[in-house]
Amino acid sequence: MEFIGRERFALELFGTMPTAAARDRTGGNVPVDDKSGRVPVSLTLLALEGVRPRSVPLQFSYTEVLWRIGVVIRKRPAWLIVAADVDQAVARLMVRFFMGYPTRSASIDLEESARNVNLAMRVGEVGLTVRAELNTLSPPTPEKRMLAARDGARFFKVPWGDAPPNSRQGAYVTVTDQGLGTETLAAGVAWDEGGTVWRTREHVCGTPELLQLI
């Protein structure tokens, strides 16, 4: 089943985490994308509007934050979703049931202006804040990777659109972990100082497809 909608606003961060912790967090069934003792990670916030199956008029608007760890599937770099924090209960059920994401209930407070973005989120008793100061630099185009999710020892490919946004710009980013990053990924995560903000992009995703790892 294919879902469509609009990404009104997005903020994406990249970083690295220790390899041993990445192996533990991903379950050990696929190799992690080890780069000299560190593994790539990413955090992507999406403010979504009008998300719905193509054949159904019922729409959902919500904010989600995807936490991903770099792995290698079929000898190619991929992103494995290890947590999906969703602020709306009905949307959270939809994302879990149809997409197979490991969802969590989250409080997500997003403030945005032409120059700054402030994100404050909490899951249970732990939280994380991100302050992004927008700049005029053109952010680098990230490496294209397959998006994957897992259910126990089974892994799934998540269909994901890559339509260009109306606008895309770089940002200087400051991340303050109040326990959420450590709980989700590990201690010792190092976030890059630069991030990317984009606005108004077509959102397309689909029901995951079972992957044969061998």
Sequence-distant (6+) residues with CB within 8 A of 75 are none
Give the torsion sign (CA, 106, 205, 141, 29): positive
Residue 116 has a pLDDT of: 95
> Is the pLDDT reported for residue 214 higher than 80?
no
The two three-digit tokens of residue 45, written as one number: 């916030």
pTM of the model: 0.95
What region, left, alpha or beta, does residue 114 occupy, with left being phi > 0 and alpha being psi -120 to 50 degrees? Answer: alpha
Q: Among candidates 136, 173, 159, 175, which has minimal Cα distance to 211?
A: 159
Condensed to tens digits (0 to 9), the pLDDT of residues 93-146 reads: 999 999 899 999 999 999 999 899 999 999 999 999 999 999 988 887 888 899
What percentage of the chain reaches a pLDDT higher than 70?
100
User: Domain map of the chain by residue range?
Assistant: 2-210
Which superfamily does CATH assign the domain made up of 2-210 to?
A: Acetoacetate decarboxylase-like (2.40.400.10)
Taking the C-alpha atoms of residue 59 and residue 24, their distance in angstroms, rounded to an integer, is: 37
Per DSSP, the chain holds a count of helices (H) and strands (E) of 3, 14
Q: Among candidates 48, 4, 6, 9, which has minimal Cα distance to 199?
A: 9
Condensed to tens digits (0 to 9), the pLDDT of residues 198-209 reads: 999 999 998 999
Q: Among candidates 208, 155, 184, 170, which has minimal Cα distance to 13?
A: 170
Q: Among candidates 181, 198, 213, 175, which has minimal Cα distance to 69?
A: 181
Mean pLDDT calculated for residue range 13-33 = 94
The two three-digit tokens of residue 135, written as one number: 């700049």
Residue 126 has a pLDDT of: 97
DSSP alpha helices (H): ranges in the chain?
19-26, 89-94, 180-184
Would you tell me how many other CB atoms lie within 10 Å of the CB of residue 213? 10
Q: How many residues does the chain have?
A: 214
Looking at mean pLDDT, say which of 62-66, 95-99, 148-152 comes out highest: 62-66
Per the CB < 8 A criterion, the answer to whether 34 and 62 are in contact is no
> Is the pLDDT reported for residue 41 higher than 90?
yes
Taking the C-alpha atoms of residue 79 and residue 68, their distance in angstroms, rounded to an integer, is: 6
Mean pLDDT calculated for residue range 27-33 = 90
Instruction: Label residue 151 exposed, middle or buried (CB < 10 Å: 0-12, 13-18, 19+).
Output: exposed
